[in-house]
Structure 1
Amino acid sequence: MQTSGTHLVHAQSGTPSSARRSVLKTVALATACMFACGAGWAQSAPLPKGGAVNLAMVGEPQGLDPMVSTADLVGTIMQHVYEPLYTFDANWNIAPMLAESLPAVSKDGLSYTIPLRKGVKFHNGRDLTADDVVASLQRWMELSPRGKAVGKEVASLTAKGPLSVELKLKNPYAPLLAQLALPSGMAAIMAKDSIAPQLKEFIGTGPYKFKERRPDQFTVLTRYEGYAARKEPASGYAGKREAVLDELRFVPVPSANTRVEGALSGQFQYADLLPVEAMGRVEKGAPAVVPIVTKNFGFPYIVFNTKEGVLASQPVRRAVQTAVGTGELMAAGFGDNRFFNVEPNFFPKGTPYYSDAGSKFYNERNPQLAKDQAAKAGYSADQTVRIMASRQYEFHYNMALVMAEQLKKAGFKTDLQVVDWATLVQRRNDPKLWDVYFTHSGLLPEPMLSPPQLGDGAPGWWDSADKKASLSAFNQETNPAKRGALWGKVQQAVYDEVPFIEVGKFNSLSARSAKLQGYTPAIWPFFWNTALKN
């Protein structure tokens, strides 16, 4: 997503505590098992090794650098090649991956000492060292939108011996470990000798290594025989990872209907993000095809260009917000109300970050008031609002169609530009090319993880005194209860300044072959610990 390019509760940085575990358990229950309850993370019997799978993705990744792009598609593929220091388990707790354990944190919350696992090998056969970690994180803080936000909080980053890293902060920063754990815009640990502004080699420590990419055809990863797995049982993205399959072939399939047909015919062993209206057809494909419904998968949102163009004016953005009926958009995007919720709160009730702040500005759908607001703001009817959307995410396109009509009723001139997803991701970096684009994000365990517009420099370029003040207070507070109360001020700032509109929340539909064993639904699908039934 986006991100596509992904929120849901805080994983407190620092030494683990009963309070943190309590908060995360509350969230895990309240979000109805984003990791698909009952699917099971560990296999009781050994999986049969070998075989190759065709995995139908929504499109072509615009690149394979997991730091530079926050697009979910890039993170989904490259999380098999690269690994982070920390990751998330099945209950969205922070868990170590390349780190040996959770960090030792100083009493003032400013110094993190991170021990590294011994004997981890890169795909070039060399052992992982602290120098690789430091070089990787420095690159992440220079190039990644998420990394840049973290970099502003970091005072120093140094190697303390061959297998220890020390990270010092300028101020307490609660989201640190969650930022280091996210697959999207990943703080990927790379072989130091492979690092460059533009990667030419993709050398990580993951269970699969990069083999080949043919644009618009496939990206192929193969099993890394020298992979050093963790010993803990598999849980979410954490614990033991095993490359059981010989080969993963990620195939770009922009047409949602083609992904459906390919899943039903057996051409694809997995088909990602299918239109919800295909549910009946997928169910009829049983027992050969298994529908996958991932609950509380994510939220669509509409990003505004606050830097240039007609929507650089906050009063004009406010008028657009008044014109938009998010209920109509969600109905257009998902149809079946079992697949979506229309609600103004960014986080569900029962979670620490639930707030109704700004809710009066949600789902107004008032064209006359919007027209009056636009006129007062100086909007001229000859100014075009350029809306970008991609049909590779069919719900984006369907919502964009409805929004264009809602804006026309409010007197706005619109231009709906339908492009492939890779083009949209490329064009959104140029503020001269667009005014609005549609995307979505997963419901994640830390508010600062998504959407990236909460950070700095992401497309949309939201920057204001209110944003900085509310986020600074929120991020420096490490007490979960106090932090939850501060989230409301951040949410209010989003509603007041309209850098984006969160449309609602949705469940996702994908499908897999019944022969694909061990697969468990997740926001970023992964295929370690999966096998093909003979």
Structure 2
Amino acid sequence: MKVRVPCSLAALLLLTGCVAVQPVQPAPDREDVTGVAIGSRPVADGGDLVMALSAEPDKLDPTTSSSLYTRYVMNAVCEKLYDIDADGNLVPQLAAALPTISPDGLTVTIPVRTGPVFADGTPFDAAAVVTTLQRNLTLEGSSRKSELGPVADVTAPDPATVVVRYKTPFSPLTAALADRAGMIMSPTALAAEGTNFGAHPVCVGPFKFVERVPQTSITVERDPLYYAADEVHLDTITYRIMTDANIRAANLRSGDVQVADSLSPQDVDALAQEKDVGLLQTGSFGYQAVTFNLGNTEGTGKPPGRIDTPLATDPRIREAFSLSVDRTALVNSVFNNWYEPACSFVPPDSTYSTEASEACPTYDPARAKQLLTEAGVELPYRFTMATSNTADSLRLAQALQASVVAGGFDLTIQPVEYSTLLDQQTSGDFEAVQLGWSGRVDPNGNSASFLSTGAGNNYSGYSSPEADDLVKAAARATDPAQRAELYGKLVTVVQRDNPIVYLYRQRSITGYTTQDPGVAGIETYADGVVRLSRAAFLAGGK
């Protein structure tokens, strides 16, 4: 289904006429609340926690997954070599310590824990790590290959040591191993399941996979083999799929679910006043954006093809679209000032943020129309944008649709169910798509896989030798200031070519029940993942 909203309807969506929006208000200070600690309060041993999940995860396979919601589930069942803490620092998880790097930057040595076992009883050791990393590097359709960089080989000289050798230095490795690339899978299960691993995932984790009911729920249960089983309190976690934000909020209020992710900014101010609801909120490493299909004709990871439309071939049209978007006004009107405008893949609080990475195209619809005229296309220029069919996504899409009219565009909206939209994005079955990325602590994780020619998440099919060189140079550099400068240059190239037009950064807003007995031990960080592995029901009241 495709939707074209007339100006009169757009006015009902907090827009006035076809372009103007509510007066922009200064964004309030939002204090991060990343967790609700157990502290000295007694907790129950056991219990079945239900989390309302805002979208259906894709395959529970760390090598191929691209969904944030898969990361929620996998965080409970599949530990990584490294993780981040609430402050964004990299910390060991299945690794025994941070890596050591040779003076030439080509050899990375990772000490790993001894003693853990996978949920199927297979011993965890360096050889198992090698098996996972080699799969990430070689499996067809891997989304992790580009995240790991130019690996020459991976070896395990002894059971407690992994050595990664590089063709050229690669600074972002530790950060990459703090996400899906570092989730270590049971070699026994990989041998048995092959590419079907995602249907029966087996890892080292506080919980183990039990069952999945498509479009309904995913259930995990406490793993007695987990090396820190005494720190795990719940018996089970059920991730119940609830795509409607209003339904998630209603279930949270009623106590039918104890945790709910991605609460809508439309609901959060009211929820904050509820006596039986607590809220976690934090900024994001990631972004929401519009991605244009420039050459994704055979699917991601394949060499780009050619798409003979003005939108795909003429960067002036994409620049005109970027100039037609009033990001600040959109955030103010659509998201009640809970989110922040964004114009690049580098978050403003990052070590690697610079003036260049924070530079935002000026809202200039007159210049946008001039660029379209120079490109020789008929006005208004028409194209179709696919987006998730959730209320907040449609609200944004309709606001965008109205906003870009002044710049000379006639945008048609195509609402699509989230998991189907991920498939369309991967296969290249779109003209433009509005989706986001939950973000990584190192900018390489927000850029290389999306902007490098033929990379696993290069949904645009973008290919630029200049961008490729900058991605590689930033990954090779070891000095943070030099890396920051290179990422700023990369942002400048991307804003020139506009394969991706960045729009805004979300705040991760997670609700939890405080109704007796209440829950604690829940955390959410700037990587967007809600962490439940140490969650518990409180004993003896709140």
Is the CA contact (8 Å cut-off) linking 1:326 and 1:363 kept in structure 2? no
User: Structure 1 pair 349/326, CA: closer, same or farther in 2 (3 Å)?
Assistant: closer
User: Structure 1 pair 104/410, CA: closer, same or farther in 2 (3 Å)?
Assistant: closer
Give 1:369 deviation, angstroms.
Answer: 2.7
Structure 2 residue aligned with 1:321: 322
Letter of the structure 1 residue corresponding to residue 216 of structure 2: Q
**Residue 115 of structure 1 pairs with residue 114 of structure 2:** no
Letter of the structure 2 residue corresponding to residue 248 of structure 1: I
Structure 1 residue aligned with 2:209: 210
Structure 2 residue aligned with 1:334: 335
Q: What is the rounded CA distance, in whole Å, between the counterparts of 1:40 and 1:59 in structure 2?
A: 24
- 2:249 alignment partner, one of 256, 260, 265: 260
Instruction: Give the TM-score, by structure 2 length.
Output: 0.83
Structure 1 residue aligned with 2:54: 58
Cα displacement string for residues 64-95 of structure 1 (whole angstroms, at most 9, x for unaligned residues): 22221221001111121111111112322221
Cα displacement string for residues 233-288 of structure 1 (whole angstroms, at most 9, x for unaligned residues): xxxxxxx99321100000110111101111111111011111112123313321x2
Give 1:62 deviation, angstroms.
Answer: 2.6
How do 1:379-390 residues align onto structure 2 when only pairs under 5 Å count?
A: 379-380=377-378, 384-390=382-388
Letter of the structure 2 residue corresponding to residue 374 of structure 1: L
Is the CA contact (8 Å cut-off) linking 1:358 and 1:496 kept in structure 2? no
- 1:134 alignment partner, one of 130, 133, 137: 130
User: Structure 1 pair 413/293, CA: closer, same or farther in 2 (3 Å)?
Assistant: same
Q: What is the rounded CA distance, in whole Å, between the counterparts of 1:82 and 1:241 in structure 2?
A: 17
Give 1:405 deviation, angstroms.
Answer: 2.4
Give 1:403 deviation, angstroms.
Answer: 1.7
Is the CA contact (8 Å cut-off) linking 1:172 and 1:476 kept in structure 2? yes
**Residue 89 of structure 1 pairs with residue 90 of structure 2:** no
The root-mean-square deviation of aligned C-alpha atoms, in Å, is: 2.6
User: Structure 1 pair 330/76, CA: closer, same or farther in 2 (3 Å)?
Assistant: same
User: Structure 1 pair 363/252, CA: closer, same or farther in 2 (3 Å)?
Assistant: farther
Structure 2 residue aligned with 1:524: 529
How do 1:208-287 residues align onto structure 2 when only pairs under 5 Å count?
A: 208-229=207-228, 242-286=231-275
**Residue 293 of structure 1 pairs with residue 303 of structure 2:** no
Q: What is the rounded CA distance, in whole Å, between the counterparts of 1:204 and 1:113 in structure 2?
A: 22
User: Structure 1 pair 109/40, CA: closer, same or farther in 2 (3 Å)?
Assistant: farther
Q: Please identify, of 405-414 and 151-160, the stretch whose mean Cα deviation from structure 2 is larger.
A: 405-414
Q: What is the rounded CA distance, in whole Å, between the counterparts of 1:322 and 1:297 in structure 2?
A: 24
User: Structure 1 pair 264/186, CA: closer, same or farther in 2 (3 Å)?
Assistant: farther
Is the CA contact (8 Å cut-off) linking 1:297 and 1:508 kept in structure 2? no
Structure 2 residue aligned with 1:303: 291
How do 1:145-184 residues align onto structure 2 when only pairs under 5 Å count?
A: 146-182=143-179
User: Structure 1 pair 513/146, CA: closer, same or farther in 2 (3 Å)?
Assistant: same
**Residue 369 of structure 1 pairs with residue 367 of structure 2:** yes
Structure 2 residue aligned with 1:192: 187
Is the CA contact (8 Å cut-off) linking 1:516 and 1:532 kept in structure 2? yes
Give 1:386 deviation, angstroms.
Answer: 1.7
Cα displacement string for residues 465-514 of structure 1 (whole angstroms, at most 9, x for unaligned residues): 11112112211110112222222101111111112122133323221111
How do 1:409-488 residues align onto structure 2 when only pairs under 5 Å count?
A: 409-431=406-428, 433-442=429-438, 444-450=440-446, 452-455=449-452, 456-458=455-457, 459-488=459-488
Q: Please identify, of 276-285 and 203-212, the stretch whose mean Cα deviation from structure 2 is larger.
A: 276-285
User: Structure 1 pair 260/244, CA: closer, same or farther in 2 (3 Å)?
Assistant: same
Give 1:154 deviation, angstroms.
Answer: 0.4
Structure 2 residue aligned with 1:493: 493
Letter of the structure 2 residue corresponding to residue 369 of structure 1: R
Is the CA contact (8 Å cut-off) linking 1:33 and 1:295 kept in structure 2? no
Q: What is the rounded CA distance, in whole Å, between the counterparts of 1:202 and 1:173 in structure 2?
A: 29
Letter of the structure 2 residue corresponding to residue 464 of structure 1: S
Q: What is the rounded CA distance, in whole Å, between the counterparts of 2:372 and 2:69 in structure 1?
A: 37
Q: What is the rounded CA distance, in whole Å, between the counterparts of 2:381 and 2:342 in structure 1?
A: 31
Give 1:387 deviation, angstroms.
Answer: 0.6
State the SS of the aligned residue for 2:467: helix
Letter of the structure 1 residue corresponding to residue 182 of structure 2: A
Give 1:383 deviation, angstroms.
Answer: 6.9
State the SS of the aligned residue for 2:138: helix
Structure 2 residue aligned with 1:8: none
Is the CA contact (8 Å cut-off) linking 1:494 and 1:500 kept in structure 2? yes
How do 1:342-353 residues align onto structure 2 when only pairs under 5 Å count?
A: 342=341, 344=343, 347=346, 351-353=350-352
**Residue 99 of structure 1 pairs with residue 100 of structure 2:** no
Q: What is the rounded CA distance, in whole Å, between the counterparts of 1:320 and 1:205 in structure 2?
A: 46
State the SS of the aligned residue for 1:418: strand
Is the CA contact (8 Å cut-off) linking 1:344 and 1:356 kept in structure 2? no
**Residue 70 of structure 1 pairs with residue 69 of structure 2:** no
State the SS of the aligned residue for 2:231: coil
**Residue 510 of structure 1 pairs with residue 510 of structure 2:** yes
Q: What is the rounded CA distance, in whole Å, between the counterparts of 1:46 and 1:128 in structure 2?
A: 32
How do 1:11-30 residues align onto structure 2 when only pairs under 5 Å count?
A: none
User: Structure 1 pair 137/351, CA: closer, same or farther in 2 (3 Å)?
Assistant: closer
User: Structure 1 pair 387/71, CA: closer, same or farther in 2 (3 Å)?
Assistant: same
Letter of the structure 2 residue corresponding to residue 212 of structure 1: E
Structure 2: gaps of 5 or more residues: 1-28, 296-306
State the SS of the aligned residue for 2:494: helix
Letter of the structure 1 residue corresponding to residue 460 of structure 2: G
**Residue 533 of structure 1 pairs with residue 538 of structure 2:** yes
Instruction: Give the TM-score, by structure 1 length.
Output: 0.84
Identity %, equivalent residues: 26
Is the CA contact (8 Å cut-off) linking 2:37 and 2:520 kept in structure 1? no
Q: What is the rounded CA distance, in whole Å, between the counterparts of 1:404 and 1:304 in structure 2?
A: 15
Q: What is the rounded CA distance, in whole Å, between the counterparts of 1:160 and 1:173 in structure 2?
A: 21
Q: Please identify, of 167-176 and 468-477, the stretch whose mean Cα deviation from structure 2 is larger.
A: 468-477
